[in-house]
Structure 1
């Protein structure tokens, strides 16, 4: 959402985070196949983000100060070999976090017996670094060099690190079958291995994995050459999690080799060539709780086999070939908590078979052919927390069936037929925290009907026709962390009512072409902002000075404004050190 005047429906979204170095952190990018689980039951609390330090684990203040001083004066320290291991580990972690670890300073950690080395997308990691890393010997338990330039030769250094338990090699483009063979020999303690997005590893290379008898988690997402190599997984009796999303090489024959992995709890095979016949091979995996089949050419016939998986709690059938025929099998999925049926040719007739799924907490019906009549089948789902109805024919009458779902925390009504009048049906659902009303027929009147939802933390009014007058109702939502109003009806006067929302971390006001530099001045007090979008407005470079207090800002979008990339770069260099993503770009 943002610079474009409208959003395309049906395209897989890609949301990329930034690494500390300001480069694209590919390891944690989300795609259509994995995002479903992350967003099914939204995490609306304030958890620590990836890469941030957990304050409960920080050392005492005096020691912390000493470590910071050492890091600032790192060039004067030749070795930390004589320090206790936990102190060396803290110094190493601080250098990585602050991007001060270099070829030179790395040498000081040779033979320091470090246990954990995480260098995800860290600049400059190569075979020389692996030499120093391997010097940690039997002490090294966890290593992640995802996104590095390490070659097969570099991985050979790891031979001496026989106690490794976790190894992350995502996006290591120079890793081939040869390097994987080095890793597969002698690592009997390895429980977690990930080498996502690798084009060089083949079915023959998978032979190296067969010796990792204690492996619990294996991630091979976007590895197009591994098809045909799954026979080498037969002996991994402890394997609980297998991710082969986006491997178009995977066929029904590959799934036959998974039938003996009875410890498997999580299986992700989205966007593969697996059909109903392949799914029949899984019917013996009675411990399976999560199954992701997004984008696979399966039909409702596969439910015959899946119904035998008594532990199944999370099922993603988004963008499959489902129709109403065969959907009666859904009634047997008693333990199902999360169900994604988006972008299938199912109608209200399918919903009849869902009304008995009383354990269901999340239901995605995005772009399905359902309307108000089918909504009656949802009124008994008392545990439902998340409901996605976007791009359906559901209207205001259908919402009356939701009035008894008092556990609802998130509901998506974007591109539906719901009007202002229908929103009154939601007024009693005070547990709602996230609400998407991206629809042109929603106006100020609809927003007024929602003022009782004081617990709202996320409100999406992207395409709604909200005016300056309507923003006065926002004062009821004191806990808002995320707000999007992009229908074009706002001026600086409306932004006055937004400046009091002190909890905001994301604010999207794009497409409001009458906003001026005055709006930036008004929101300058929202010091918790992490993301700001004011694209397609009358804001100029002169207004950038008002953003100086927003020290937490990481993302800034000003496309189609009178602002250049160099203007924003200057602001970043002098005043916004945390800004890692901005538009326009150079």
Structure 2
């Protein structure tokens, strides 16, 4: 029988089909070692790449990985002294990776508006961009991205301190499909900017405004009304201008809210939180309201009785909460799915209240009871409290906290 060369018998599409059947990354890499043809096919089919490279190497990578969808050029925080990617590099990326959908540039301190203008001009198909802690960037570069990348779905701008409301206006005008926007620490963002944003971007699911201390009730109310059906995650950590009006607006309009962070919003009171618990009883999964000093037992008891899908709760430093908040748990017929609980610095809670909680929460994986004067390891042992087998109990701060909230 005459020998048959596989490269003569199979077309490129058939070889790509073989490659697609390989599940392990190691096997995919070995596929490319067979011959130059197989290496070329393996390279063109690669979808993701993380790299540290200058313009010359980026050009080679662009010619080899022509169908790349995701490129990670982020700079490690531990190497923050090194600028990482430059504007020239971004020009090469914009010219060479035309299929790109996701671009990650975290901590690339060397890039400026000039580099983002290149991205806006060269990558019209871009859907996700992370330029967190690229501290030179201003409205000019980000507005160019909004104008050029109109299918943008996700934009992370944490720590971009020069960003103002002008960016939100550009996003509203050009990026109607925006679903995720992270503005953590962008202190120049105001209520006016949020109003502009949601006039055009009404599909936002995740909005992070942590430490945006110029955001208040007017802006959050506009967001809750415009994005009432889509909004699932809202983060407002240390937004001290946010009060009851914001929470009542969320309760009225946002019935699909799953995660709410209002830690440090000290003007929020029981009435608005109770309204939220009732309105979002079927959707709310994670709630953080540490340092909300006006929160007391009535809020917490309603959260437990209404929010039957709650998985994460942080009421640390809410000093008015007592064991009475847990009294209603005894009459519940079903268990709570709570996995994560922080009650640190709540001096009025004792092992009695904690025992009531444990009786209804056998899914707990982490509980923080630091600085609870009456909840120590010795007191728990003496009371015979039984924590779930997989539950980590943080009595002294020696345990790493899960990044749930």
- Shorter-chain TM band: 0.7 to 0.9
Among 259, 274, 280, the alignment partner of 2:248 is 280
Deviations 1:236-295 (A, max 9, x none): 232111111111111111112112202011111111021112212212101111111111
- Report the counterpart of residue 359 of structure 1 in structure 2: 337
Shift of 1:86: 4.9
Q: Is residue 291 of structure 2 the alignment partner of residue 319 of structure 1?
A: yes
Tell me the SS of whatever aligns to 1:125: coil
Q: Taking structure 1 as reference, are residues 290 and 92 closer, same or farther at Cα in structure 2, changes over 3 Å only? A: closer
Are 1:153 and 2:114 matched, yes or no?
Answer: yes
Counterpart check, 1:303 vs 2:273 = yes
Aligned counterpart, 1:102: 54
Match of 2:146 in 1: 184
TM-score after normalising by structure 2: 0.77
Structure 2 counterpart SS, 1:189:
coil
Q: Of residues 159, 162, 185 in structure 1, which corresponds to 2:124?
A: 162
State the shift of 1:423 in Å: 6.6
Contact kept in structure 2, 1:336 and 1:359, CA below 8 Å: yes
Rounded Cα–Cα distance in structure 2 between residues aligned with 1:61 and 1:161 = 28
Name the counterpart of 1:253: 218
Q: Deviations over 1:135-161 (max 9, x none)?
A: 135411111112222111111112221
Separation in 1 of the partners of 2:297 and 2:382? 33
TM-score normalised according to structure 1 size: 0.54
* Contact kept? 1:360, 1:381, Cα under 8 Å: no
Paired residues of 2:369 and 2:394 also in contact (CA < 8 A) = no
1:183–1:208: 8 Å Cα contact kept in structure 2?
no
Kindly indicate whether the alpha-carbon contact (under 8 Å) linking 1:366 and 1:391 is maintained by their aligned counterparts in 2.
Answer: yes
Deviations 1:478-536 (A, max 9, x none): xxxx9xxxxxxxxxxxxxxxxxxxxxxxxxxxxxxxxxxxxxxxxxxxxxxxxxxxxxx
Q: Who is 1:121 aligned against?
A: 75
**Following superposition of structure 1 onto structure 2, how do residues 198-209 of structure 1 map, counting pairs within 5 Å?**
198-209=160-171
1:198–1:115 CA distance, 2 compared to 1 (3 A): same
Query: 1:401-420 to 2 correspondence within 5 Å?
Result: 416=376, 418-419=377-378
User: Kindly tell me: are residues 344 and 421 of structure 1, through their superposed partners in 2, closer, same or farther at Cα, counting changes over 3 Å?
Assistant: closer
Structure 2 counterparts to residues 531-570 of structure 1, below 5 A: none
Q: Does 1:373 align with 2:352?
A: yes
Deviation of the 1:233 alpha carbon:
2.5
Q: Check the 8 A contact 1:136/1:161 in 2, yes or no.
A: no
Report what 2:368 is aligned to: 388
- The Cα offsets for residues 337-373 of structure 1, whole Å up to 9 and x where unpaired, read as 2211111111222232555473333322111121133
Q: Distance in 1 between matches of 2:167 and 2:380?
A: 60
Report the number of matched residues. 349
Q: Write the deviation string for residues 182-230 of structure 1: whole angstroms up to 9, x where unpaired.
A: 0111423221111111111111221111121111211111111111300
Is contact 2:363–2:388 with CA below 8 Å preserved after alignment?
no
Match of 1:333 among 307, 317, 321: 307
Secondary structure in 1 aligned to 2:143?
helix
The answer to whether 1:265 aligns with 2:232 is: yes
Q: Conserved in 2, the CA contact under 8 Å of 1:329 and 1:353?
A: no
- Structure 1 or 2: more helix by fraction: 2
Q: Distance in 2 between matches of 1:334 and 1:154?
A: 48
Deviations 1:46-93 (A, max 9, x none): xxxxxxxxx9434435357699xx9xxxxxxxxxxxx84751686994
Equivalent residues of 1:358, 1:380 under 8 A apart: no
Give, in whole Å, the separation in 1 of the partners of 2:265 and 2:86: 37
What is the CA RMSD across the aligned residues, in angstroms? 3.1
- For 1:269 and 1:209, the matched residues in 2 are separated by 20
Cα distance, 1:152–1:184 mapped onto 2, change above 3 Å: same
SS for the counterpart of 1:204 is helix
Residue 79 of structure 2: aligned partner: none
Structure 2 stretches lacking a partner, 5+ long: 1-22, 77-82, 401-405
